[in-house]
Chains A and B, each alone.
Chain A
Amino acid sequence: MTLGQVAAKPVIWLVRAYQFVLSPMRPATCRYFPSCSAYAVTALGRYGLFRGTWLTIRRLGRCHPWSPGGVDHVPPLPGHIDDGELIARHIPHETTT
């Protein structure tokens, strides 16, 4: 695990806390799959604090009522398979909803 990934851990816990406490109190609203919070968890875990945060900010910027929404996964690491492909093939992996 890189330093960036270790530094991202507390932020991931915060997002997870949001997912368990705040998010269920509101109806489902995200126009994307995976939802912005799930995207954040994957991005932070995969790319560490800095790039993960940057990817998350960009995703939040994309998620507004005028965007088409749809399927939008965190870019895969070089040489890895895209998450969408894994899900389509029903292969278990880390993405949370």
Chain B
Amino acid sequence: MSPQVLKHPGLNLGPAHGKDDVAAESMMFGFWVFLMSDAILFGMVFATYVTSVQATAGGPGTHALYDLKSAFIETLLLLASSFTFGMASLALKYKHSKSRLIGWMILTLLLGMVFLGFELHDFSSMFAKGGVPSRSGFLSAFFDLVPLHGLHVAGGCLWLICLAGQILRYGLDTGTKLGIMRLALFWHFLDIIWIAIFSVVYLGGLT
């Protein structure tokens, strides 16, 4: 185990990265604080969902709308993307070749986009069964929570593309390194939110 205290959440670059490691401290702390604020945002949306889940107003409910298999596949996709992002972080920290780093990033991006594809497919099949957000308080709450997470993932994908662009343009300078590290926090954080979503929404809804 390395003796030094970890400076910030997420994979620390370590002293081998010199000034980038120093610059990371307040930047990563700041981003982590933002994520905590975001966590409260999700918490409130979860609270809305939990207290609205019975408010179907005669419309379709959880059993009629949710698809366990699809939720399971989405979970695996996100989990895999968390792992591939971890590999990208390692490639950054241990200064592997740029192409290896970008390779892991592209893999993560693909997993994220497939996840979004599955999610959109879920939504459209819910729409087909009459599960539109304006149908009931329950569906409104659902379409607040799950697409909010989806929007975050979409934002993460866009950020991933921009970071790849920055790497190609500037190489691995302080800016891109800190960008990848922040996005890593963001990505893993979204995976944690997803754990809550599949447990509360899908599994809880299908018991």
Mutual binders A and B: no
Interface residues of B (CB under 8 A from A): none
